[in-house]
Amino acid sequence: MSRLKSKSKFLKLYFLSRFFSHPTLNMGTIFVTRRCDRNCIYCYTKKNVDANQELSTQESKEVIDKFNEFGVWYLAFYGGEPTLRSDLADNIRYANNKGMFTIVHTNGSFKNIGIDEVVNAGIDVVDIAIDSITNPALKNYSEVKEKLERLIRTDVGVKLNHCITKENCDETTKILWLTEHYKIPISIHLGESSPLPTNINYDSTPFFKRGDKDDIQEVEKISRFLADRSRKSKLIINPPEYFEVWSRFIRGENLKWECKAGKSSLCIDYNGVVLSCVSASSPINLDGNALYYKDLNKSNINNVKQKIKESTLQCKSSCLSCTYMLENNSMMNIPRILKIVNSF
Ligand SMILES: C[S@@+](CC[C@H](N)C(=O)[O-])C[C@H]1O[C@@H](n2cnc3c(N)ncnc32)[C@H](O)[C@@H]1O
Ligand code: SF4
Ligand code: SF4
């Protein structure tokens, strides 16, 4: 898919969904796997599960059908590491044929599927996570440089995704240089502990700690810097206000935004259960049972959305992913949308 075609596809789908068709959902995320070839210390999504517990290619297509039935037009392939699935291109092609806008979030390893296969299947955007320039313990530019450059030479949209912790906060300027050098956009987020139960021991993660005097100073400095850069650069997708919230978050303020999970987005796990958001590790229950994608239908989808909304209350608005979802994924902010589209 050419970048121009992807841009117009995105805008068409966005405006149709916003002003004409009023779909039940806009955004769907599918965990095509929870396995990963890396081991990021902060990761809340990687799980060591057997490949045979994962949805088959056919089942993933059924998930896409369900999404399509509810009006999902923005489909994210998520993980774990999606490129460990050799059938990824099949699913991209399937979603593409249904007219959906597709994005894959990857660490750039492309171990079990080639770049060409993913590109030829018609992916709209490849989102590559880079946390460092050379540090081998982190997702680093040196390891993906060649693949990143190959992708940039194709006609698909390429963006970067960068997660800041104490371990790599001194590299932010260099990472921003990459986006300017390649003229590709970036979204930046702060490493954080999920407010939902996970299997991570957060004491050992290099996260900035809420309420810690030194960490507050450091994060305030970074957030001022990034807010300023975001005002000046078309390539930083997050709005300045998102970075400004980091300062309040790290000071431990009770942030009062409403989580939008479930409102217009739905997430399906590697084994087919319905999750409230990508940070959640346990399924949504309906009538006391874990809810599977196969159970979703037009008559219960509003109850499911209500259940997801209820489950978000336990997070007590303490999660930065919410602003991330709100600003980047909820598709409600038109200037922001245009910035995203222009950056493909
Ligand atoms: C979970 S990964 C899945 C896709 C792929 N493996 C990757 O690394 O991009 C998607 C994004 O979630 C981010 N992430 C994972 N754990 C996080 C955490 N505790 N805090 C903030 N971001 C996190 C990663 O940095 C990555 O950009
Ligand atoms: S590469 Fe992605 S999925 Fe894998 S451990 Fe790192 S953040 Fe998690
Ligand atoms: S507040 Fe919302 S986005 Fe954040 S972890 Fe909870 S449900 Fe997910």
Q: What is the pLDDT of residues 192-223, one digit of tens each?
A: 887 777 777 777 789 999 899 999 999 999 99
Query: What tokens appear for 81 in the block?
Result: 């590491």
Ligand 2 centroid distance, CA of 166 (Å):
17
* Ligand 3, pocket residues at CB < 6 Å: 194-196, 259, 261, 276-277, 279, 312, 315, 319, 321-322, 325
Mutation pick for ligand 1 pocket among 88, 125, 148, 163 (CB with most ligand atoms within 8 Å): 163
Q: CB neighbours of 173 closer than 8 A, spacing ≥ 6?
A: none
259 alpha carbon, closest ligand: 3
CATH number at residue 188: 3.20.20.70
Range of the domain at 100: 3-343
**Residue 76 pLDDT:** 95
In this structure, how many other beta carbons lie within 10 angstroms of the beta carbon of residue 273?
A: 19
Task: Give Cα separations from 181 to 85, 149, 178 (angstroms).
Answer: 31, 11, 5
DSSP 79-139: SS-GGG-TTHHHHHHHHHHTT-EEEEEE-S---SS-HHHHHHTT-SEEEEE--BSS-TTS-
The region, left, alpha or beta by phi > 0 then psi within -120 to 50, assigned to residue 236 is: beta
Distance CA 40, CA 202 (A): 13
Residue-wise pLDDT tens digits, 235-292:
998 888 889 889 988 998 877 667 778 788 899 999 999 998 888 878 898 888 999 9
Distance CA 96, CA 206 (A): 39
Grouped pLDDT means (10 residues each) for the chain, 344 residues: 78 80 87 96 90 97 97 94 98 97 96 97 95 97 98 93 96 96 92 78 84 96 96 88 88 77 88 91 86 94 90 76 52 58 62
Total domains, the chain: 1
Distance CA 29, CA 103 (A): 10
**Residue 23 pLDDT:** 81
**Residue 201 pLDDT:** 75
**Residue 264 pLDDT:** 83
- 3-state percent breakdown (helix, strand, coil) of the chain, nearest 5: 45, 15, 40
Ligand 1 centroid distance, CA of 106 (Å):
9
Nearest-CA residue for ligand 3 atom 7 is 312
In the β-sheet with 274-275, what is the strand arrangement from edge to edge?
A: 186-190, 157-164, 125-129, 101-106, 74-78, 27-31, 265-268, 274-275
**Residue 193 pLDDT:** 82
Distance CA 31, CA 226 (A): 30
Distance CA 319, CA 306 (A): 19
Nearest-CA residue for ligand 1 atom 26 is 129
